[in-house]
Structure 1
Amino acid sequence: MAKKSIASYLIERSSVKKQSIASYLVERSSGKKLRINGCLPSQKKPPKSKHYTASRFSASELPIRVDLRHYLTKVEDQGQVASCTANAIAGAYEYLAKRAMGDAGDVSRLFIYYNARKFDGIEGDAGSSITTSIRVLQEMGACTEGTWPYDPQLWDEQPYTEAYDEATRFLIEEAEEIDVHLFAMKHCLAEGYPFAFGLRLFKSFDKAGHKGGVPMPDLNHEDGREEHGNHAMLCVGYSDPYKVFVVRNSWGENWGDKGYCYIPYDYMTNPEYCRQCWTIRGVSDLDFSAGVWAEDDEDFYTYDEEEEEEYEYYYEEEEYEYEEEEESEDVENSYEEEEEEEEEEGYEEGEEEEEEEEEDEEEEEEGYEEDEEEEEEEEENEEEDYEEGEEEEEDEEEEE
């Protein structure tokens, strides 16, 4: 019996509804929900990766400010999907494309998010790791958002075949892991490369919603949101006078300073809070340092913590349903029936092969017997010829 195609099995799959928990920050004034628990711990490093070496500049050679925002695409909103890692990595890729080609479209964040979860076997809208998102770009690439758009309702839908075909044109070559250390982080930015990272959030992070300024967490009065996990963002600059990193978030342009925030050095260089710092590189090692250095902080940003208006947020958990595909009993039975039929077919084929081997042996025996008969005939002919030769010699002797 011929095997069924994979497509026919997919048709016969059934979906089982499952439940999970999503956590949000909810803005009191608007009711807008900000997803905050999407950055999962890395299971393993990307296949093409190495440790970042900060060797091009000395500490004294680094500029007092670096700002890559001019080369970044519009800040996007992840909505209520736990796709912060995909948003951060997509932003980094779009930056590389814009620096290399002068322009860049939007990379499909849902393409990255879907395949990263599948690589790690993550069920539900539970987030993904930065390293696995990088692996997607290395092994699959990523299609454009025009091909596979960011529709929150499609977070668990597999992209079309055309999306995978297109994605192979947009692969990245390698990724480098950066130490959670001030000099290494600044050095990477000074070379003209942003880096993605995961950050443990505190209650004080809520204040960034107004103008983007993130206070240094006060551990005497607040706890880190351990139950929320980490939130992935993209670091795109720094300022020595303000001692802050410039960070691109994925909560839309109405949050923070047009979608960006400013996180203190001491916060981001604490390995207890900041994890998974990775920068991605293109096929060729291009020099992106030109045009991103500055020796002053004029018009950088205005942040006064005393005047900072605290946006009021509250924490909320919400159950959600998602569909997990499972094979129906009919499909499982069909697998078993096919296996049994294949075993029977294999047994019958084995018997036929044995019969053929026996026939071959019989033919070989017959051929052997024929060869023996031919040899006996040849020997008899040789003896007759020999006897005839002797008789002829005797006749000749008698005549003499």
Structure 2
Amino acid sequence: MAELVPDAGFLKNGKLKNALLQHKALSRNGLSERLFGLLFSGLVYPQIWEDPDVDMAGMELSPGHSIVCIGSGGCNMLAYLSRHPSSIDVVDLNPHHIALNRLKLAAFRSLPGHSDVVRFLAMENVSGNVEAFDRVIAQNLDATSRTYWQKRRWNGQRRIEVFERNIYRTGLLGRFIAVGHLLARLHCVQLTELANAKSLREQRHVFDTRIAPLFDKPLIKWLTSRKSSLFGLGIPPQQYDELASIATDGSIAPVLRQRLEKLACHFPLKDNYFAWQAFMRRYPTGDEGSLPTYLKAENHAAIRENVDRVQVHHATFTELLASKPADSVDRYVLLDAQDWMTDQQLNDLWTEISRTATGGARVIFRTAAEKSIIEGRLSPALRAQWTYLEERSHALNLQDRSAIYGGFHIYVRSA
């Protein structure tokens, strides 16, 4: 298992640089890529922003499947364990995500019950989580991850202490959401007003009358016309260009408004923890709504039983697959990583996917724009090995509660 390097920045992270950098340093695009890389070298996603229920439906995930997936915040990998796969290999280029994935696995392995896991991973402003880490979790972490969470920050506090406040308000995404709330307040709008809605009709009213008009404000339109404005969402320059390709007036504000409308209006609040994180900056409690799939009581026993079936690697997807034998992987979860890739990188990736795929293997991924990113870019020989389930992909995309992406895509290994 590859070990992470604590505090490895973008300049030291050769894997991330190789994945991201496509232009010369002093070019406009090159500077944009390097700025994003510097921001992306810290913790980005305390919570993953892909709907795990859609993932598992798209994969038709069943007991005994072997999975390779991208880690991000680790929530979906844990949700997959509820279906009893034979193994999960998690890859990520960000050492902070590696540490977070391993910590979440250790929490399930170490803490005595479901309520303890929820207290540690889902609640805000609680005491005792640091004590739980020191007493039972730390001993179940590898040495490097343990050092990561024990490291003191500029203010003297250990990193692990964020779990006594609200880890979901930290990281690049957490700060981006905070800025969104600040911009709304500058225009006399409190995004937390959505929590008062008791029905889809009331959610629609709050969005139409309070939130949607923000996207017509000159400041919002100006900000969203700049690539760097969306770096906080983890959207690199290449992915911004994908979003801009479906914009009509040079600003992606209308695209963002459409995505936020789906998040706010298309699913009951009680069923959409993604909306709670975006608008209330926390998870629901009590009767307010349901927690993420991996934190639901009915999934706890299965996840705890299966945590040792996961291996977490600081590696690229292609690199990890190259180490695996042929005909050995059933399911692949690429998130939106292909939006970053050159044609060469895409073909290298799918060469390894095709080599390692079992009969009937499935690949799922998301895209910023609606269309599949691989169409017209893979070599004909590679593309011929896979069948695109276009109708099923579209149907499941409509069910994706995170609402961030334009497309969800499923490919099945052809017979």
TM-score w.r.t. the length of structure 1 is 0.26
Q: Which has the higher helix share?
A: 2
TM-score w.r.t. the length of structure 2 is 0.25
Q: Which has the larger radius of gyration?
A: 1
